[in-house]
């Protein structure tokens, strides 16, 4: 508000967005309007990784429209049209290359051999071993292996009763019951385990019998699908005459 021609700013601080020419990331900072532009630059050094003497600051509105360059180091930040959610863009005018801050391929990576890591007493792996977490819990791992083998045997037993050419009914949790014909039984490249390829009587599938460029059987687009053997029941399921439906 104004009092006798003097403008009074009720909030002495402003919350701004920060971007720089070195990275594609945006951050937020809060500055006092009473800081000089030189003070703002010195506070930005650790944030953007650019020396204050090599900075050029541009001010953008909350709608990212260019407003003005913050070029006078002695001027107060509040003397410029800064407001909450405006953006200050920091440009690196040094001769150095900014890629070292954004290109991770240029960062030297620390590597350690598996044997050397195994010998370390204070590591995530040693901690997991002591606490018997995850794959280091032999009892739990053995139980999981037994469950996996039992599931595989169940799939094999289910597949033994499913032959190519059989009529079938497919029931998958959360989906409507579908009728179709068995077109494929066996393993597939897209996921481990045994799978049954079905040509549905209606366009309720996902493909035409091919997945990821590999063809398993032939059918029209959207009439083909793959399901687990436990979802398939073979039997006398005659194809309905959908042409007579209204």
CATH assignment of the domain containing 80 = 3.10.20.90
Compare 8 and 173 and report the one with higher pLDDT: 173
Cα–Cα distance measured from residue 125 to residue 198, given in angstroms and rounded to the nearest whole number: 45
18 lies in the same domain as 93: yes
**Is residue 21 assigned to a domain?**
yes
Domain total of the chain: 3
**How confident is residue 134, by pLDDT bands cut at 50, 70 and 90?**
confident
**How confident is residue 112, by pLDDT bands cut at 50, 70 and 90?**
confident
**Is residue 120 assigned to a domain?**
yes
What residues form DSSP beta bridges with 58?
69, 89
Q: What is the pLDDT of residues 69-108, one digit of tens each?
A: 999 999 999 999 999 999 999 999 876 554 455 556 666 7
Compare 8 and 201 and report the one with higher pLDDT: 201
**How confident is residue 246, by pLDDT bands cut at 50, 70 and 90?**
very low
Q: What is the pLDDT of residues 196-218, one digit of tens each?
A: 999 999 999 999 999 999 999 99
Specify the pLDDT at position 101.
Answer: 52
- How many Cα atoms occupy the beta-carbon half-sphere of 129 within 13 Å? 9
**Is residue 52 assigned to a domain?**
yes
Specify the pLDDT at position 211.
Answer: 95
Evaluate if residue 120 carries a pLDDT over 70.
yes
**Is residue 245 assigned to a domain?**
no
Compare 234 and 151 and report the one with higher pLDDT: 234
**How confident is residue 3, by pLDDT bands cut at 50, 70 and 90?**
very low
- For the record, the structure tokens of 213 come out as 């460029």
- Of the candidates 202, 200, 191, the residue with the CA atom closest to the CA atom of residue 228: 191
Specify the pLDDT at position 1.
Answer: 42
Mean pLDDT, all residues of the chain: 85
**How confident is residue 116, by pLDDT bands cut at 50, 70 and 90?**
confident
Cα–Cα distance measured from residue 207 to residue 204, given in angstroms and rounded to the nearest whole number: 9
Cα–Cα distance measured from residue 35 to residue 82, given in angstroms and rounded to the nearest whole number: 12
Specify the pLDDT at position 11.
Answer: 74
- State whether residue 29 is helix, strand or coil: strand
Label the pairing between strands 55-60 and 27-32: unpaired
**Is residue 40 assigned to a domain?**
yes
Alpha-carbon dihedral sign for residues 200, 203, 204, 205 = positive
Specify the pLDDT at position 242.
Answer: 52
128 lies in the same domain as 176: no
177 lies in the same domain as 154: no
**Is residue 244 assigned to a domain?**
no
Do residues 178 and 169 lie in contact, with contact meaning Cβ atoms separated by under 8 Å? yes
- State whether residue 96 is helix, strand or coil: coil
> Tokens 């407001």 belong to which residue?
83
Q: What 8-state DSSP symbol labels residue 88?
A: E
Specify the pLDDT at position 34.
Answer: 92
**Is residue 1 assigned to a domain?**
no
Cα–Cα distance measured from residue 202 to residue 82, given in angstroms and rounded to the nearest whole number: 62
What residues form DSSP beta bridges with 14?
31
SS3 content of the chain, % helix, strand, coil (to 5): 30, 30, 45
60 lies in the same domain as 119: no
Angle at 48 between CA 43 and CA 54, to 5 degrees: 80
**How confident is residue 245, by pLDDT bands cut at 50, 70 and 90?**
very low
152 lies in the same domain as 216: no
Q: What is the pLDDT of residues 12-29, one digit of tens each?
A: 899 999 999 888 888 999
**Is residue 2 assigned to a domain?**
no
76 lies in the same domain as 49: yes
Q: What is the pTM of this model?
A: 0.44
Domain span holding position 173: 167-239
Cα–Cα distance measured from residue 215 to residue 202, given in angstroms and rounded to the nearest whole number: 20
């Amino acid at each position: 508000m104004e009092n006798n021609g003097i403008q009074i700013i009720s909030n002495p601080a402003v919350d701004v967005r920060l971007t720089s020419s070195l990275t594609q990331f945006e951050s937020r900072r809060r500055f006092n309007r009473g800081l000089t532009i030189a003070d703002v630059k010195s506070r930005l050094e650790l944030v953007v990784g650019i020396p204050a003497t090599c900075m050029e600051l541009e001010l953008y509105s909350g709608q990212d429209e260019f407003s003005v360059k913050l070029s006078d180091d002695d001027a107060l930040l509040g003397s410029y049209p800064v407001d909450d959610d405006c953006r200050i863009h920091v440009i690196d005018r040094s001769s150095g290359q900014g890629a070292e801050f954004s290109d991770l391929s240029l960062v030297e990576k620390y590597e350690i051999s598996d044997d050397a890591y195994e010998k370390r007493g204070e590591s995530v792996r040693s901690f997991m071993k002591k606490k018997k977490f995850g794959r280091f819990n032999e009892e739990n791992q053995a139980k999981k292996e037994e469950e996996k083998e039992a599931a595989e045997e169940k799939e094999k037993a289910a597949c033994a009763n499913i032959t190519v050419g059989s009529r079938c009914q497919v029931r998958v949790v959360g989906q409507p019951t579908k009728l179709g014909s068995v077109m494929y039984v066996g393993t597939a490249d897209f996921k481990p385990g045994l799978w049954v390829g079905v040509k549905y009587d209606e366009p309720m599938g996902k493909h035409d019998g091919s997945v990821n460029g590999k063809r398993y059987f032939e059918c029209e687009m959207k009439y083909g699908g793959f399901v687990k053997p436990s979802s398939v029941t073979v039997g006398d399921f005659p194809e309905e005459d959908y042409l007579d439906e209204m």
